[in-house]
Structure 1
Amino acid sequence: MTTADHRPDSHPGLAFDRAKIAELVADSERRMTAIADAQQRMAELTVSTRSRDRSLSVGLGAGGVLTELTFHTTAYRDMAPAQLSKLVLDTVTAARAEYAEHVSELMAPVRAGAALPYEQIMAGTFDVSAFLREGHVGLADQGDQA
């Protein structure tokens, strides 16, 4: 048997649902415009979040990179190191949560009706081989509801 003769569907562990693969190809082609738009918007995405006490602003740029840390008062000078650390970390955490919310909104058109389960992919729990073997149509809809 030559390499050309060996087809993945001839091996039981590699038997993929061809209809599912065709669906994935068609789905990816439909999403190219939405993906390009989301990428452009994410490249331009910035977030500025102010601390609860209004004494600190944290700015995040493309990719969620910290780009700004601005103290609006001199109150930080009188803070204990642990208190100042908490202020900075809490404000950065709030900024990252806001950034993630914006990214989720930007990705909504890409995820809508997707054949691939976005939440599982982002969580690192998606098994592409199992997905292709199972041939579940609408698995993403089931995964997004879980």
Structure 2
Amino acid sequence: MTVDPGHPALAFDRVKLAALVADSERRVRAIADAQREIAGLAVTKRSRDRALTVGLGPGGVLTELTFHTTAYREMAPAELSRLVLDTVAAARAEYAAQVAKAMAPAREGAALPHDQILAGTFDISEFLRGGPS
């Protein structure tokens, strides 16, 4: 079987293809840097009333749950549960924000439209032929 380089399916915009390759190489380096940063990421969050500290380690795993007073002994079960859940949620939100910050360089100046990719509407062949992106 011979491949005709002039066939429309293979008529890619070489400049776009080269830019995509260069962007991919830069992005791979940025992702590797982000992975190293995220691997050591740890977050500590104290509750609003300062009674509890929650710690999250790499992967967002709960690593610390420290009560700073004995007030929890007097709390109703639902109140104690709310304190723990709200503080863990705050720690997870901080963790997610730090992951997003670490990943920002990998998303910055993207050659490919991530929104379209995630929506399933991106056509790589059209993009490489020089069509809309």
- Answer whether TM exceeds 0.5 for this pair: yes
Of structures 1 and 2, the larger Rg is shown by 2
- Equivalent position amino acid for 1:126 in 2: A
Shift of 1:78: 0.7
Cα RMSD, aligned residues only: 3.0
3-state SS in 1 of match to 2:55: strand
Farther-moved stretch of structure 1 (29-38 vs 74-83) = 29-38
2: distance between equivalents of 1:22 and 1:79? 63
2: distance between equivalents of 1:97 and 1:49? 10
Q: 1:49 aligns with which of 45, 55, 71?
A: 45
Cα offsets for 1:104-127 (capped at 9, x unmatched): 111111111012345x48xx9432
3-state SS in 1 of match to 2:36: helix
- Equivalent position amino acid for 1:110 in 2: A
Cα offsets for 1:31-64 (capped at 9, x unmatched): 2221111110000000000000001011011111
C-alpha distance 32-138 of structure 1, shift in aligned 2 (>3 A):
farther
Cα offsets for 1:62-98 (capped at 9, x unmatched): 1111111111111111111110111011001100111
- Equivalent position amino acid for 2:124 in 1: L
Is 2:101 the partner of 1:100? Answer: no
In structure 1, list runs of 5 or more residues that go unmatched. 140-146
C-alpha distance 24-79 of structure 1, shift in aligned 2 (>3 A):
same
Is 2:122 the partner of 1:130? Answer: yes
- Equivalent position amino acid for 1:97 in 2: A
Report the counterpart of residue 80 of structure 1 in structure 2. 76
In structure 2, list runs of 5 or more residues that go unmatched. none
1: distance between equivalents of 2:103 and 2:132? 18
3-state SS in 1 of match to 2:122: helix
If the length of structure 2 is used for normalisation, what is the TM-score?
A: 0.77
2: distance between equivalents of 1:69 and 1:16? 58
- Equivalent position amino acid for 1:41 in 2: E
Checking the alignment, whether the CA contact within 8 Å between 1:17 and 1:133 is kept in structure 2 is: no
Checking the alignment, whether the CA contact within 8 Å between 1:115 and 1:137 is kept in structure 2 is: no
Structure with more contact order per residue of length (Cα contacts < 8 Å, sep ≥ 6) = 2
